[in-house]
Structure 1
Amino acid sequence: MSLSWITGIVTGLAALYFLQKRLFPYLWVDLKFLLKVMKYGIQIEMYRRTGNVVTVLDRFIQQAQRIPDKAFLIYQGQVYTYRDVDRRSNRVARVFINYSSLKKGDTVAMLMNNEPDFLNVWFGLAKIGCLVGFLNYNIRSRSLLHCFHSCGAKIFIVGADMLETLKEILPSLQEDNISVWVMTKETSLKGVNTILDKLESVTDEPVPHHLYKVNSISATTLYIFTSGTTGLPKAAVISQLQTLKGAAGIWAFGGNPDDILYVTLPLYHSAASIIGIAGCIYLGATCVLRQKFSASQFWNDCKKYNVTIIQYIGELCRYLCKQPERDGDKDHKVRMAVGNGVRSDVWREFLARFGDIKMCELYGATEGNICFMNHTGKIGSVGRSNLFYKLVFPFELIKYDIQKDEPIKNQHGWCQTVEKGETGLLISKVNSNNPFFGYAGNKKDTTKKLLCDVFKKGDVYFNTGDLMVQDSDNFLYFRDRIGDTFRWKGENVATTEVSDIIGILDFIQEANVYGVTAAEHDGKVGMASIIMKPNHPLDLNSLYNQVVSYLPGYARPRFLRLQENMEVTGTFKQQKVRLVEEGFNPTSISEPLFFLDDSKKAYIPLTKDIYENIISGLIKL
């Protein structure tokens, strides 16, 4: 071959390389990620076709046999190996085989904090073929009872540190002949069963495989509660398919068996339980579990336990950035962070402060049928789409009228997609590969999450309720939520539930709850516009006691606005748009405003000074 030919080939290859870099800069990183995901997808498809499903529980049992002495869980300095958790969960299974009437397919509800026995109980129940509902330990009273009953549970298992919460609803549970079990050796509560004493009397031998064998990838395995868009929490149906997809998330981002994952998020959330715990199981990795997140101890724990991967939500990253700077902020082994909801400015500050950590931003709803994964590390993006992705996970961004709270349709009655760079409502096509399992015992709310006849007769899409934008490079960015939900402290707050709690008070005629933005804070903080009944004075003490008694901290309205008339839409829905825009500034709002002051345990008048201290960050919300 002549020199001119060689020169021509080299020149051509160089030209192709630079052309690819300019026109398709993410080609190879996309392809590598896609091939990895496709390989796992083929494995799941084989489960679907053959009915021989290897569940997360199956994977855990395999790991316990393969690496029995490897640390699976580290909690408060105590190490629990894969064998330890396998054997103790066998004992839990034996307790309920011997001492209860539970059978395969029954549902059990758990109310427990982050602790090793959360996993032992979860796995033990799964080993006898039970479905498990994870209850949010922040909720109480009426909401807690609603959650228990909505997933159809026959048994209620309560952690030792949640007994005060149990006492509030125990009479109602016993009226319904519900069997209640507590994680103690003894109890003074009448009619309540204990677990720890019985664990000592049973064997830790494996339970028969037929009890937990799963033949369908669509079979339900968990109920995880979500605020949804309206009303009380709803039990999202979590299938084996969803757990298998979630369990592979950290692996897809580059996790390996040598990694040590730090989980501070609550285990009742799918992020911690499915992506975190199940993700460790898939890899055969180690999890460091903390009961509750602590900004001041976060990096100390990471250094102490040689953590390599952390889980986050946006607020968590912001809290860490707000901590006083210390020598050695970058002196750790964390190489990857997996989570969702971090703002671009916090993202940049986090990397500058704590070093070169690969930020793996996710997008997905607990009950949803679509997920995005930002595998490129593009700051601010929740993920990237391409032709191959849309073939597997078909989705669209459609035009949406926020004022009317409905999609914008053309003259033929079909929805319209937005242009790139334009904000639209994210919807995901429902089909056999991407099913929507809905909410347990709640056909109405399940149906409300679906859009039918969107682009043609007969098509069905899942309505995520999220407004997003896609740029020219196909990166997707979250913009806002629609409907009657806002996000605060990493939790979804259903405004109608809060309104109902406030409306119970005999001097309240109507309450309109919404989220408002506050400087230096992610998400939206709760605010309630209230109207008094005629000839009834405002009782701030009663109002404070009501929200503290019946609402978790993140759902309590921090601001009140006293109005004489409530604005409504043409269909008599409460008007929130103007109220949200006006916020809680006392200099621009003439009506009385109040602030929930934690230090005084009361609602107090919101003055200009208090407002400015909140905006400047001197008062923390």
Structure 2
Amino acid sequence: MRHSDVITLPKILSRVPALLSNLPSMIKGSKMSKITDTRTPVGLAKGFQQAVRSNPGGVALVYEDRQWTYRELNAWANRIAHHFASKGLRKGDTVAISIENRPELVATILGCAKLGLCSAMLNTSQRGKVLVHSFNLVQPSAAVIGEELVPAIEEVRGELTLDADRFYFLADQDTSRNAGKAPKGYINLANVIQKASADDPDTIDQICLKDPLFYIYTSGTTGLPKAVVFNNGRWWKAYGGFGLAAVRLNQHDRLYCTLPFYHATGMVVCWSSVISASAGLVLARRFSASRFWDDIRQHDCTAFGYVGELCRYLHEAPPKENDRTNKVRVIVGNGLRPSIWTPFRERFGIDRVVEFYASSEGNVAFTNVFGFDNTVGFSPVSYAIVKYDKDQDAPIRNARGFMTRAAKGEAGLMLGEISDKTPFDGYTDKDKTEKSIFRNVFKKGDAWFNTGDLMRDIGFRHAQFVDRLGDTFRWKGENVSTTEVEQIVDQCDGVLESVVYGVEIPGTNGRAGMAQVRLAAPHAEYDFARLSDQLRRDLPPYAIPVFLRINEQAMETTGTFKHQKNKLKEQRYDLAQQDNPVYVMLPGERHYQRLTESVQAAIDAGEYRF
């Protein structure tokens, strides 16, 4: 930690004048983020309804060369809601959604929200067993599948627990103007909603704090993906906390979002910030570093959403004379590295970085309301950073059995207090929910959510992110469960045993996947091409291990039979620190190749863009 990163009283006071002009909206947003009345109508549908009334003719959504006003997008979503209602779907039912970032996804999510349906946001990278697990876990009453994801669904459709007449289809085109043709076995949603009402359904005022809005999938710390319940109350808090208090857009702003909507950063943080101001969402199918700034200029965007990897890719691109020729004044996201924070902001002329810290399932959040550099920001809720023993992989408890708070500047485990104001809604699996809770932390009977993240207190309720603990690491903006990857690797032909962990590659965000594997045959005779094909079939691209470390002996474990990962993480793929053969899947390659000293030197020098 740098001394300049410490937040002091003079620093706080220096920001007050700039915040005074936004004080009314910040106070309103803060009040919304603390709502506890379980009878008051809240949520995505309510927030969007208010935006329509505020700015009906304003641009709500832009995609490529098309755009929809708030009135038009509202009518589209209403037709979807009324159709689902006509088929017997009711508040609390779940609809599985698998569509890439495009207008049909936005309209479908909004339509479900208006009826009080819970949208299960399937990760569009999932395939095979992982997809089956995620789909069946939430027991959907219907599914809406984009044309681009039909092949993935068809591969496993026989294993999905949903009646055949409940699969809806949306063509990969502008279905608000041309419905297209659905394949056999699917109902064309764009066709069947054409005669449905375009008026707001009455159900909008019946959706309250605790009613579920989304299932967002997280790898968590163990096992296959978990479906996290994201209720309307949490969305309302983001709507107030991010939209009104922190990002602070206006009706003339446009926010560019390349982040997938199956993640909360894109769907909740970015979209709620837009809706709170009746502003415009400019949606991109996926991130492209080469097209990013051209899109920003073409659509007159004044804001964008990010994860750390996105900023790194943009920063690594060769400088151009027109880097500062853009209207962007604020960006919102998480994971911006301190090493590029200031250079990135100055290169592209960005006034404010609204960095935040939160998780889909967590009850503690930080937001950079005051606009300081190199911090996840300020938190108004009750949290604690406690001393943590990495070797024991557990918080340190004193002689009385209670945990101890870490000192200012000291890294420790971040916990969020579970209370009426900051509940922990948990997972679909009650056992997994309980495993995420620490009890009797500071006194008998208290309960705290374990974030699994190391954080550092830098003063005045501000924090810095340090690292992610346990059996999950973050790569390409995604959480990767080591247990999930191990299960897949262990099932591959010729693999006897594996242990998966994350390792740092210089100049990248997060940790790249690495697997130590024990093979049934000598590595020189092993079919690595077949292994690569099997991993691509069953794992999303970000979860495929970048490195393989070949171990001819039995895996080293602790007394409780846990794999010794700390030493493996420290040795990484460094050939100088081990005698084990190491293989790597380089960017753009489809198969593993033997790592050599020259290739390792090139990786460490940043010559390969992971």
TM over 0.5: yes
Q: Work out whether residues 472 and 480 of structure 2, in 8 Å CA contact, stay in contact via their aligned partners in 1.
A: yes
Deviation digits for residues 186-219 of structure 1 (CA, Å, limit 9, x no counterpart):
767543222122233x13431531x333353122
CA contact (8 A) 1:226 1:233 kept: yes
**C-alpha distance in structure 2 between counterparts of 1:66 and 1:571, whole Å:** 60
Do 2:366 and 2:376's aligned partners in 1 also have CA atoms closer than 8 Å?
yes
Number of the residue aligned with 1:431: 419
Q: Which residue of 2 aligns with 1:240?
A: 232
Aligned mates of 1:351, 1:24 — CA distance in 2? 23
Comparing 509-518 with 190-199, which one deviates more in the overlay? 190-199
Give the total of aligned pairs.
590
Listed as ranges, the matches of 1:320-359 within 5 Å are: 320-359=314-353
Amino acid at match of 2:245: A
Q: Does 1:227 align with 2:219?
A: yes
Q: How far is the alpha carbon of 1:328 from its aligned partner?
A: 1.4
Residue in 2 that maps onto 1:520: 507
1:381 aligned to which of 375, 378, 382: 375
Match of 2:360 among 363, 366, 371: 366
**Is contact 2:42–2:233 with CA below 8 Å preserved after alignment?**
no
Does the 8 Å contact 2:251/2:278 carry over to 1?
A: yes
| Alignment partner of 2:269 out of 275, 292, 309 | 275
Pick aligned residue for 1:103 from 72, 90, 100:
90
CA distance in 1, matches of 2:123, 2:520: 33
Which residue does the alignment assign to 1:159? Answer: 146
Q: CA offset at residue 61 of structure 1?
A: 2.0
Does 1:561 pair with 2:549?
A: yes
Q: Which structure 2 segments of 5+ residues have no match?
A: 1-6, 172-178
Asked if the contact 1:407/1:415 (under 8 Å) is kept, the reply is yes
| Structure 2 residue 83 is the aligned partner of structure 1 residue 89 | no
TM-score, normalising length from structure 2?
0.92
* Aligned counterparts of 1:132 and 1:106: Cα–Cα separation in 2: 9
Q: Which residue of 2 aligns with 1:410?
A: 398
Distance in 1, Cα, partners of 2:28 & 2:255? 24
Aligned to 1:458: 445
Aligned to 1:18: none
Who is 1:197 aligned against? 191
Larger CA deviation: 539-548 vs 517-526: 539-548
Q: Is the contact made by 1:71 and 1:286 (CA closer than 8 Å) also made in structure 2? A: yes
RMSD (Å), alpha carbons: 2.2
Distance 1:311 1:556, change over 3 A: same
List runs of 5+ in structure 1 lacking aligned partners: 1-20
Change over 3 Å in CA distance of 1:43–1:560 after alignment to 2: closer
Q: Give, as a single letter, the amino acid of the residue that structure 1 aligns with 2:270.
A: G
Contact 1:110 1:133 in 2 (8 A): yes
Larger radius of gyration: 1
- Residue number among 149, 153, 168 corresponding to 2:155 in the alignment: 168
Partner of 1:589: 578
For 1:535 and 1:310, locate their aligned partners in 2 and report how far apart those are by CA, in whole Å. Answer: 50
CA distance change for structure 1 residues 163 and 146 in 2, over 3 Å: closer, same or farther?
same
The 3 A distance-change label for structure 1 pair 57 and 450 is same
Contact residue 595 and residue 603 of structure 1 kept, 8 A: yes
Is the counterpart of residue 63 in structure 1 residue 56 in structure 2?
no
Of 193, 211, 216, which aligns to 2:208? 216
CA deviations on 1:277-302 (whole Å, 9 max, x unpaired) are 12211111111111111111111111
Cα 1:208/1:36, change in 2 over 3 Å: closer
Q: Which amino acid aligns with 1:361?
A: E
Deviations along 1:147-197, one digit per CA (max 9) or x if unpaired, are 112222121111111111111111222686672111145767543222122
Give 1:376 deviation, angstroms. Answer: 2.5
Q: Does the residue aligned with 2:157 lie in a helix, a strand or coil?
A: helix
Q: Which has the higher contact order (CA 8 A, sep 6+)?
A: 2
Aligned position for 1:610: 599
Question: What is the match of residue 541 of structure 1?
Answer: 529
Q: Which amino acid aligns with 1:466?
A: D
AA aligned opposite 2:434: T
For the structure 1 residues 409 and 178, does the alpha-carbon distance in structure 2 shift closer, same or farther, using more than 3 Å as the test? farther
Alignment of 1:305 with 2:299, yes or no, is: yes
Q: CA deviation at 1:373?
A: 1.0
| Structure 2 match to 1:17 | none
Alignment of 1:570 with 2:563, yes or no, is no
**Does the aligned pair in 1 maintain the 2:409–2:456 contact within 8 Å?**
yes
1:251-283 alpha-carbon deviations (Å, 9 max, x no partner): 212322222111110111111111111221111
Specify the SS of the correspondent of 2:575: coil
In structure 1, how many angstroms separate the alpha carbons of the residues matched to 2:590 and 2:66? 37
Q: Summarize the Cα distance change of 1:473–1:64 in structure 2 as closer, same or farther, 3 Å threshold.
A: closer
1:480 deviates by: 0.4
Displacement of 1:352: 2.6
- Partner AA of 2:598 in structure 1: D
Q: Does 1:134 align with 2:128?
A: no
State the shift of 1:79 in Å.
Answer: 1.2
Shift of 1:337: 0.8
Cα distance in 2 for residues equivalent to 1:35 and 1:96: 39
CA deviation map 1:41-64 (0-9, x unaligned): 43566x643712232212212322
Q: Distance in 1 between matches of 2:316 and 2:52?
A: 40
CA spacing shift, 1:40–1:23, aligned 2, 3 Å: closer
Kindly provide the CA deviation profile for residues 468-508 of structure 1, in whole angstroms up to 9, marking residues without a partner as x. 11125553111001100111111111111110001012421
SS class of match (1:127): helix
Q: Distance in 1 between matches of 2:250 and 2:399?
A: 53
1:251 and 2:250 correspond: no
Aligned to 1:26: 12
Paired residue type of 1:66: S
